[in-house]
């Protein structure tokens, strides 16, 4: 339960949102040094983004690297056909990541589930790990008998600082040193900028997990620099700050009323003309002292978490093992 | 997962809040026909209220009857000493309710845990039921061997319409007809008007559970009229609507700024002068179409629910059985 | 946790085993008044039995009625393809039961999950109930909008005497009176005569659930006499008495050694010549005083329970709703 | 679910049982090089044993070192007063271990919970870890603000080979290298020789955890040699082999009948005169081919595990932190 209340700000863990904010902030259209494309199909909005230059990275506040975002507004409806489609899309995009960073079909992989088992919206990583098809032990114990189409995959959930007393990155570092995977995949729950992203959006990034991102106070990240091997980060927003809900709703209220009254000054006065960050600051000033600026989560979070964790685990199992696809993968998850 | 989105409005399940709203709405001070007193001690704000007349009931929007509210702002901190104090206060107040409605030490009691096991913030009732000291079977099977200091207590969690297909009040009615308790105690999770009430407030009411209250769409209540025996309702707010958070924060922002600028008109324009209900209406108009007006809950809801359910179960066990007090009751809960 | 240690004896909850015992006991071959046939396919041994006369019923110790047993020795291996086949077989056999007792596609059904949530091997009923497609509420609330191919299905888990204080049959009776289903289906965990039946065998019987059967001390059953509507019982052995393991193993040891030495008298002495019931009596005399005759269960019971509960829930969903088959039913279970 | 069926034999993980077997095997009384003493009080049989020489170690089949065993036959009754007494005894004995191996009040400790979260009887370690008072993070982040009476404690549950793909000892080694504790405490579930030991016996040993011990196939242990720091092992039998139940019961049956008939030869023949190991071998020969020699566990294992894990966690918290005793420790466990 170790939330660092000081750390949240306009910054978001989603590169997609960060780019939107940066683009809004500058009036001159697209940001140079950022390539992106968007596909819409089957209820899935798929955005591939490449932050190519340090300037772009600084402007957006995200590392140079590749990012893929799957937005699936209907994902909370519990439709298993849609879930299967998302898992398949996820697997296809993930395979492209593996290829791009030179991970072959033989390379060994360690899947790390960050977060806290005992706090439902923070349990994304541990639940995904529980559904990963783990095979490394067979390659270690009886390498000759492993069927083709599989690679060595291991999976751990290192826990969080508040329940282990040890930084999760220190635990993962030790495991990487002793088990020597070629790639680390880190799955983590994120804080979202808006309630409609909660459990509907998945981000893949080849930049790993950075300090201070995710739920909980991570003081060290999981990156190639720290681990010595590449690290792909997978994130899903599962919580949102109460202050963010308020601020976003205010925006929507203003937009809504502007449609009817061109001159909004008499409508909202000085308040309506504040900068977004200034207004967010004000909202926090009001909420924090009374302890109201909680991280909140939808009431049905238990079911939502189960669904999206299964989507990611199915997608990963299919992407990591050639012999597995999202049709037969259900056998390995529950 | 059967939330009736149409049903929420300014109305609250807490009589205390309803009275505050009604009092604010009329400028002339106290509402006639309502008696109330407040004690503060040990971090617990205890309010006893008696709605005495039909006029008062109509004004407040709550039934004629007795209500006790325990507000414990620090209850989410996980302090077990405070939890014990709250359980003891709760037991003492609850015993007063039993006496007032003529329940003797021999009267048999059925505890009903309303709500959905599988949705954490709705599982208050089922978790309380799991920790109730159940004794009715001993009175049925070997009445001569039951030690003094106990009464026949039974406990059921009937499930919710969405998972059983049957109204919970129909199930409870059937159980009451067949097991013939002298009193029903119904425990339910409520929607709060503000985030700081979530898992910090407990209400006891001798008016039972009314249609449409609690989380989930209850079309029939649990009342003396329906059950044929008295029904005491115990409720704890565990969720809050996103729109309520927004609206309450707006109030706080306005109050905050008014302190510095007496004339708020240029500050907030027309928006600042709206009636609260009008503004809430506007916020919902904006949130509903995009599906953002979710019922939300704090991230740490799992731990909060466990703590408050134990407080209520301990308090009930001590209040129902003379031989049990909140010192030795921990043996029966976990 | 209310096992009646006095009640177990050679008697078994499985009609198949009861018939075997009865057949062994009489040397003259088949028992008159019992019809049975056995199919083997796909790793499933399917036995349909009809106890036709009171004499046969008395000999076997089971009620006059129809019984189907699915024995699937490999069901504990976690093979999802086999699980699907078993669910499909189960659904087909179950539909035959429905037809035989005159349940039409429109008839309403109440599924009752007997047993204790908190004791894994006793949680079969509650876990099945959690995965049943419940539809009754739609027929009640918006009968015109229900798609064809569905019937009104409700589902409850009434708990056990030790945790509710009320006989589960009294609770079910009350629910049946108030919700008026045309058929009750009761799912319960049983004690097996041998470890290899645990979580590998499913029995369907149109005779309901009888007093004293299942795990836990049921003093009243769930039968047409008690409920006023037909009751189909579904049972799975999930526990076995330590004394049963010992006794069965002794039999196997004797058989094993007899193969090598025709004259077993010097091998086993008087002990080897005891009647099975006499020997079992001896084993219990030894185990009971020291409290060793526990009900035991395989170490991996958590996973086994999940698998077999899903098989039964999928099978029931497919059998009860024409629009559902075991291919698409996975969507409704997890 | 990675049980090595080949590895079990008469050998036991409990030094106490190993000594009994060794003592029975030699007719000449006590084994030289083994010191032991036994206290009985408050329903707890406490045995302290010191295996002092290599000869004794070889005879008993346990390492040279100190062992303490708490046998509490009534521990499965759910009596919380008894549980508190056991936690207090455990804490006192554990503190003696710490002193003997030179662990001061300032030394840092890593608690390792071995075993599989998802298999109830194997989850002892993970459940204990969940209830350990973890403090290392405070010493790392704000060393000046930690109250006196605490030491740096961290706690991890590394998972099992079958679910992580990595030997748990490899994971722990990596964590020890990176977090540098002065002592490792490893908690593990064991296989017992008899059902009455299951969840009633706790062993502490300063010899760590050895390869092949515990439930599951551990090919590497957790010892000072492997970890570079001392390792205290804590074990509780939670499962028993079906073959062990059979064999032990046979012994009891023979003993029982011998009391009445001095000459047992006609009673049991050759079978009665077999050596115990020979007979066990025969029982296994019979059970193994049919897959009946499962590891079994009492039906109520869920509750038993919760109780004994709380006893150990409370005891450890009191032993590790001077400021904590078993009276106030309940605050930290649940």
Cβ–Cβ gap D298/C301 under 8 Å: no
Q: What is the pLDDT of residues D182-223, one digit of tens each?
A: 999 999 999 888 788 899 999 999 999 987 777 776 678 899
pLDDT confidence bin for D174, thresholds 50/70/90: very high
pLDDT for A47: 96
Radius of gyration of chain D (CA): 21
| Any A CB within 8 A of D162 CB | yes
pLDDT confidence bin for D320, thresholds 50/70/90: very high
Q: What percent of chain D has pLDDT over 90?
A: 58
Cβ–Cβ gap C306/A331 under 8 Å: no
Q: Are D86 and D70 in contact (CB under 8 A)?
A: yes
| Main-chain dihedrals φ then ψ at residue D321, nearest 5 degrees | -115, 120
pLDDT confidence bin for B49, thresholds 50/70/90: very high
Q: What is the pLDDT of residues B143-180, one digit of tens each?
A: 999 989 999 999 999 999 999 999 999 999 999 999 99
Model confidence at C40: pLDDT above 70: yes
- Per-residue pLDDT, averaged over A223-246, amounts to 92
Q: What percent of chain D has pLDDT over 70?
A: 89
For the CA atoms of D196, D201, D206, D210, the dihedral, rounded to the nearest 10 degrees, stands at: 40
User: Could you say which of C120, C252, C269 has the minimum Cβ distance to residue D267?
Assistant: C269
Cβ–Cβ gap B330/D330 under 8 Å: yes
Cβ–Cβ gap C245/D250 under 8 Å: no
pLDDT: which is higher, D144 or B284 = D144
- Per-residue pLDDT, averaged over C143-149, amounts to 90
Cβ–Cβ gap A179/D166 under 8 Å: yes
pLDDT confidence bin for B208, thresholds 50/70/90: very high
CA distance A308 to chain C (A): 13
Model confidence at A101: pLDDT above 50: yes
| Any B CB within 8 A of C44 CB | no
CA distance C248 to chain D (A): 9
pLDDT for D224: 95
| Any C CB within 8 A of D1 CB | yes
Q: What is the pLDDT of residues D269-283, one digit of tens each?
A: 777 777 777 777 777
Domain coordinates of chain D in residue numbers?
Answer: 5-243+294-332, 244-290
pLDDT: which is higher, D312 or A7 = D312
Give domain B5-243+294-332's CATH superfamily: HybD-like (3.40.50.1450)
Model confidence at D334: pLDDT above 50: no
User: Could you say which of B155, B166, B179 has the minimum Cβ distance to residue C179?
Assistant: B166
Q: What is the pLDDT of residues B66-115, one digit of tens each?
A: 999 999 999 999 899 999 999 999 999 999 999 999 999 999 999 999 99
pLDDT: which is higher, A84 or C243 = A84
How far apart are the C-alpha atoms of B69 and B84, rounded to whole Å? Answer: 17
Model confidence at D331: pLDDT above 60: no
Q: What is the pLDDT of residues A34-43, one digit of tens each?
A: 999 999 999 9
Q: Are D221 and D172 in contact (CB under 8 A)?
A: no
pLDDT confidence bin for D27, thresholds 50/70/90: low
pLDDT confidence bin for A327, thresholds 50/70/90: low
How far apart are the C-alpha atoms of B308 and A222, rounded to whole Å? Answer: 37
Q: Which residues in chain B have their CB less than 8 angstroms from residue D331's CB?
A: 80-81
- For residue A242, the chain B residue with the least C-alpha distance is B245
Model confidence at A272: pLDDT above 50: yes
Two tokens, residue A43: 């209820």
User: Could you say which of A80, A331, A334 has the minimum Cβ distance to residue C331?
Assistant: A80
- Per-residue pLDDT, averaged over A225-238, amounts to 96
Cβ–Cβ gap C301/D267 under 8 Å: no
Question: What mean pLDDT, rounded, does chain B reach?
Answer: 86
Q: Which residues in chain B have their CB less than 8 angstroms from residue A282's CB?
A: 253, 256-257
DSSP class of residue C222?
Answer: B
| Any A CB within 8 A of B296 CB | yes
Cβ–Cβ gap A178/D171 under 8 Å: yes
| Any D CB within 8 A of C260 CB | no
Q: CA-based diameter of chain B, in Å?
A: 78
ipTM of the complex in this document: 0.89
Q: Which residues in chain D have their CB less than 8 angstroms from residue B331's CB?
A: 80-81
Contacts of residue B93, defined as CB under 8 A and 6 or more positions apart, other chains included, come to: B46, B48, B68, B70, B204
Radius of gyration of chain A (CA): 21
Identify the chains in contact with B, defined as 3+ C-beta pairs within 8 A.
A, C, D
pLDDT confidence bin for A10, thresholds 50/70/90: very low
Q: What is the pLDDT of residues A134-190, one digit of tens each?
A: 999 999 999 999 999 999 999 999 999 999 999 999 999 999 999 999 999 999 999
User: Could you say which of B81, B331, B334 has the minimum Cβ distance to residue D334?
Assistant: B334
Please state the pTM of the whole predicted model: 0.89
CA distance D162 to chain A (A): 7
Q: What is the pLDDT of residues A286-295, one digit of tens each?
A: 777 666 677 8
Cβ–Cβ gap C176/B174 under 8 Å: yes
Q: Are A5 and A23 in contact (CB under 8 A)?
A: no
C241's enclosing H/E stretch is strand C231-241
For the CA atoms of C247, C248, C249, C254, the dihedral, rounded to the nearest 10 degrees, stands at: 90
Model confidence at A328: pLDDT above 80: no
Cβ–Cβ gap B270/A266 under 8 Å: yes
Model confidence at D333: pLDDT above 60: no
Q: What is the pLDDT of residues D129-142, one digit of tens each?
A: 999 999 999 999 99
Cβ–Cβ gap A249/B252 under 8 Å: no
Two tokens, residue A281: 């600051």
How far apart are the C-alpha atoms of B72 and B88, rounded to whole Å? Answer: 13
Identify the chains in contact with A, defined as 3+ C-beta pairs within 8 A.
B, C, D
Cβ–Cβ gap D270/C265 under 8 Å: no
- For residue B78, the chain D residue with the least C-alpha distance is D331
How far apart are the C-alpha atoms of D295 and C296, rounded to whole Å? Answer: 10
Q: Which residues in chain D have their CB less than 8 angstroms from residue A162's CB?
A: 134, 137
pLDDT for C292: 65
Question: What mean pLDDT, rounded, does chain A reach?
Answer: 86
Identify the chains in contact with C, defined as 3+ C-beta pairs within 8 A.
A, B, D
Q: Which residues in chain A have their CB less than 8 angstroms from residue D156's CB?
A: 158-159, 164, 166, 171
Q: Which of B115, B215, B119, B122 is nearest to B156 (CA)?
A: B115
D positions 196-225 inside 8 Å of C (CB): 196, 215
Q: Which residues in chain C have their CB less than 8 angstroms from residue D249's CB?
A: 242-243, 246, 283, 286-287, 292
Q: Which residues in chain B have their CB less than 8 angstroms from residue D334's CB?
A: 306, 334
User: Could you say which of C136, C154, C165 has the minimum Cβ distance to residue B153?
Assistant: C165
pLDDT for D217: 65
Please report which residue ranges of chain D form alpha helices under DSSP H.
15-25, 54-60, 80-100, 124-130, 136-141, 161-164, 168-179, 224-227, 242-258, 265-273, 276-287, 301-320
Cβ–Cβ gap B165/C153 under 8 Å: yes
Say which residue the tokens 């529950």 belong to: A334
Q: What is the pLDDT of residues C169-186, one digit of tens each?
A: 999 999 999 999 999 999
Q: Which residues in chain B have their CB less than 8 angstroms from residue A195's CB?
A: 242, 292, 294, 296
Range D265-290 burial, b when 16+ CB lie within 10 A, else e: eebbbebbeeeeeebbbbbbebbeee
Cβ–Cβ gap B81/D331 under 8 Å: yes
Model confidence at D163: pLDDT above 90: yes
How far apart are the C-alpha atoms of A142 and A184, rounded to whole Å? Answer: 23
Q: Which residues in chain C have their CB less than 8 angstroms from residue A330's CB?
A: 80, 330
- Per-residue pLDDT, averaged over A289-313, amounts to 87
pLDDT: which is higher, D325 or C332 = D325
pLDDT for D288: 72
Q: What percent of chain C has pLDDT over 70?
A: 89
> Could you give the 3-state DSSP secondary structure of residue D187?
strand
Model confidence at A231: pLDDT above 90: yes
């Amino acid at each position: 339960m170790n939330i660092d209340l000081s750390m949240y700000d306009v910054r978001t863990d989603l590169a997609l949102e960060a780019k939107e904010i940066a683009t809004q902030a500058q009036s001159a259209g697209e940001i140079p040094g950022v390539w992106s494309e968007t596909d819409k199909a089957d209820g899935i909005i798929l955005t591939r983004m490449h932050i190519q230059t340090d300037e772009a990275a600084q402007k957006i506040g995200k590392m140079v690297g590749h990012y893929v975002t799957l937005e699936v507004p209907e994902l909370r409806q519990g439709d298993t056909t849609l879930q299967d489609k998302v898992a398949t899309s996820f697997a296809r995009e993930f395979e492209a990541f593996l290829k791009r960073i030179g991970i072959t079909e033989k390379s060994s992989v360690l899947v790390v589930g960050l977060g806290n088992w005992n706090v439902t919206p923070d349990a994304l990583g541990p639940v995904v790990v529980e559904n990963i098809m783990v095979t490394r032990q067979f390659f270690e114990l009886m390498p000759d008998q492993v069927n083709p189409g599989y690679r060595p995959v291991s999976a751990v959930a290192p826990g969080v600082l508040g329940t282990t007393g040890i930084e999760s990155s220190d635990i993962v570092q030790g495991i990487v040193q002793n088990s020597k995977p070629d790639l680390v995949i880190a799955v983590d729950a994120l804080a979202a900028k808006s309630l409609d992203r909660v459990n509907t959006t998945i981000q893949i990034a080849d930049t790993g997990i950075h300090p201070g991102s995710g739920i909980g106070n991570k003081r060290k990240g999981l990156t190639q620099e720290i681990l010595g091997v590449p690290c792909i980060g997978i994130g899903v927003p599962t919580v949102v700050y109460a202050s963010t809900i308020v601020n976003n709703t205010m925006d929507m209220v203003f937009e809504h009323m502007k449609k009817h009254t061109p001159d909004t000054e008499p409508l909202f006065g000085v308040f309506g003309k504040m900068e977004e960050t200034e207004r967010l600051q004000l909202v926090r000033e009001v909420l924090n002292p009374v302890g109201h600026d909680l991280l909140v989560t939808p009431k049905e979070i238990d079911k939502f978490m189960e669904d999206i964790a299964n989507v990611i685990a199915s997608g990963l199992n299919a992407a990591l093992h050639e012999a597995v696809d999202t049709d037969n993968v259900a056998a390995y998850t529950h």
